[in-house]
Amino acid sequence: MDSFIVSARKYRPATFATVVGQASITNTLKNAIRNQQIAQAFLFTGPRGVGKTTCARIMAKTINCENITPEGEACGTCSQCVTFTKSSSFNIYELDAASNNSVDDIRNLVDQVRIPPQSGKYKVYIIDEVHMLSASAFNAFLKTLEEPPAYAKFILATTEKHKIMPTILSRCQIFDFKRISVEDIAGHLAYVAENEHIEAEVDALHVIAQKADGALRDALSMFDQLVSYAGNKLSYKQVIENLNVLDHDYYFKITDYLLRGDISNSLLTLNEIIENGFEGQHFIAGLTQHLRDLLVGQDKETLKLLDTSANIRNQYLMQAVQCSAGFLLKALDLCNECDLNYRNSNSKRLHLEIALMQLCILANPNADALTRPAMAPLKPASSEPSKVTPPVTPAPLPPAAKVEEPVINILPKPVEVPPAEPVVQEKPVVIEPANTPPATISKSYTGLNVGNLMNQGTKNTINEPEEKQLIKEEVLPEQSEAFTQSDLEKVWSEMAVTVARQLPNLYATLTCRNPILNEDNSIVISVENKIQEGDIFNNRPELVTFLRKKLRNTSISIETLIIDKPAADRKPYTDTEKFEAMERNAPDIRKLKDQLNLDIEM
């Protein structure tokens, strides 16, 4: 049985013309050979699998060819070309610097350089992974590399140019190899498949090319692996299954759901993807790339940036028409933020689901969060006017008003009654805490609305109340009416009650002590700690405006004074202070904490 040769070796380019994706470099080398302007040393650098060593071998073969073609290629028939093909040439030496990186190895190389070639024009030394040489080895190599004999040529190859000494770089002609494009890799794979009599779908070859990430050798290795599995027919489905690639159809389908604001189907599709074994970050990265391709596909000038086959490119063009550029830009920002925060999230699946819900509401602000199309509103329970009984006195609705049963949702929504409607709603029963000021108005929980999970931007809050100013700031005319301490205390109490409607903590801070009026109309309020001082500082403009308006004096200002109480009398605020207060009442609690190795966390 014949031994199997992998495609990367079997179809390794033998001439400059057959090198894939490096036309600028191969043209430069051919011109140098044609014009007899061959440098003493070359450095080939670039990613793995892009043809560095291959070009070095072709270069070594061509410069020793006895019958170079007018195009600067080796003839392939002379004795030098034949011996090179059989790997029996004495003029070409290949050294792996990863395993021969000591000073002694380089000294042996320098000793060989002194011996001229027995046949042919040049002795060529190809040193692969040259960045692995030690600093001493580099220094031993410097003199020979700078002034070698006329018959000696050095070709260095590396994937990490930044690790090479600058003194070495300055003695070489540097050629930077680029990553091979998806189209070039797919074309070469089609050529290999045709020679091997394998029927391969174009989309399948493009998936292999994308997965190779610019490395032709990786693409050929994957191709051999897939052919071993699929046989002589290679389909797109077989490729995505074996390479663990998420099908493009998932991204097209989920984008359709996002544009319709269909949260339910979006979450179900995500669940299907996760059940198929795909990592969540792999999905969000692919969705980001998909949205990027849709944005690129909206302009004919940027259409060439799509690294896909013709069939998939047509799908991108059709879906790109349905998306606005503004939506795609905001969606890309959301997906990128989700991708960055994914690793730090404790609930990774919820992190992805929230991102999808944000995208749905971003595309369709009127999307009903989790309502399916089959769920229709129920018919009115009765055609007669209904009545709602208020907590104090029963009040019938107007004759024309009808109360319909609400639409059934998976999650309840807050009931909002427009102020202009005469409908009287029953107030929810609210249990107020004992320390709440009498004027404090408590809010009851009315349920969770998934539709309000996210604002259309990037806020991640659930039923977040709108920010309201306690007292609107306004520019008052200059006034200087005199007032007394009693006038101040009266207005101060009125202001504390007004503030307490929204900020109970600030109410407690304002009423714990009486304010003190100074001669310059500055008001000093004593506080116990930095927290209370911060409460007053954050609302100082509104408080000052209230006092100036009520007392008709625009020179009023507010200052705070922290009174340091003894530790026993100080009200605990932090977790540590609360624990210490508990310890004073129950000394054994610290022993329990130390024995169980507990942390202080309330």
Separation of alpha carbons 188 and 49, rounded Å: 14
Q: Which helix (H) or strand (E) holds 546?
A: helix 540-551
For residue 131, which amino acid is it?
A: H
> Which DSSP letter does residue 102 get?
S
Query: Measured in whole angstroms, how far is the alpha carbon of residue 453 from the centre of its chain?
Result: 21
Q: What domains, with CATH codes, occur in the chain?
A: 7-176 (3.40.50.300), 182-242 (1.10.8.60), 248-363 (1.20.272.10), 485-562 (3.30.300.180)
Q: Which two tokens stand for residue 371?
A: 């309502």
Q: Which residue in 96, 95, 161, 101 sits closest to 123, CA to CA? A: 95
Separation of alpha carbons 329 and 335, rounded Å: 10
Which residues have C-beta within 8 Å of that of residue 539, sequence separation ≥ 6?
470, 499, 503, 506
8 A C-beta contact, residue 97 and residue 130: yes
pLDDT in tens, 205-254: 999 998 888 899 999 999 999 998 888 888 888 888 888 888 888 899 99
Q: Which residue in 279, 269, 207, 282 sits closest to 243, CA to CA? A: 207
Q: Which two tokens stand for residue 393?
A: 């006195």
What pLDDT, on the 0 to 100 scale, is given for residue 330? 92
Torsion 91-97-99-101 (CA) sign: positive
Q: Which residue in 209, 218, 164, 162 sits closest to 190, CA to CA? A: 209
Which residues have C-beta within 8 Å of that of residue 5, sequence separation ≥ 6?
none
Radius of gyration of the CA atoms of the chain, in A:
39
Separation of alpha carbons 290 and 73, rounded Å: 43
Q: Which two tokens stand for residue 438?
A: 């009498």
What are the residue ranges of helices labelled H in 322-415? 325-341, 348-363
What pLDDT, on the 0 to 100 scale, is given for residue 475? 63
Long-range pairs of 593-601 with CB within 8 A, sequence gap ≥ 24: 600/575, 600/576, 601/575
What pLDDT, on the 0 to 100 scale, is given for residue 158? 92
What pLDDT, on the 0 to 100 scale, is given for residue 188? 92
> Which DSSP letter does residue 396 get?
P
For residue 68, which amino acid is it?
A: I
> Which DSSP letter does residue 463 get?
S
End-to-end alpha carbon distance in the chain: 75
The pTM assigned to this predicted structure is: 0.56
pLDDT in tens, 163-218: 998 989 999 999 999 999 888 999 999 999 999 899 988 888 999 998 888 899 99
8 A C-beta contact, residue 444 and residue 428: yes
What pLDDT, on the 0 to 100 scale, is given for residue 390? 43
Helix then strand count (H, E) for the chain reads 23, 10
What pLDDT, on the 0 to 100 scale, is given for residue 55? 93
Instruction: Give the C-alpha distances (Å, rounded to integers) separating 213 from 10, 209, 219, 235, 449.
Output: 21, 7, 8, 20, 44
- Cβ count near 7 (within 10 Å): 22
What pLDDT, on the 0 to 100 scale, is given for residue 577? 75
In the 3-class helix/strand/coil scheme, how is 65-84 assigned residue by residue? CCCCCCCCCCCCCCHHHHHH
Angle in degrees, CA 558, 562, 568, rounded to 5: 150
What pLDDT, on the 0 to 100 scale, is given for residue 309? 79
- Cβ count near 318 (within 10 Å): 10
Segment-wise mean pLDDT, segments of 10 residues, the chain, 602 residues: 78 89 91 89 92 92 88 86 85 87 87 85 90 88 87 92 90 92 91 90 89 90 90 87 85 91 91 89 91 88 81 86 89 92 89 92 68 42 41 43 40 45 43 40 36 39 40 63 85 80 74 83 82 79 84 86 65 74 82 80 58
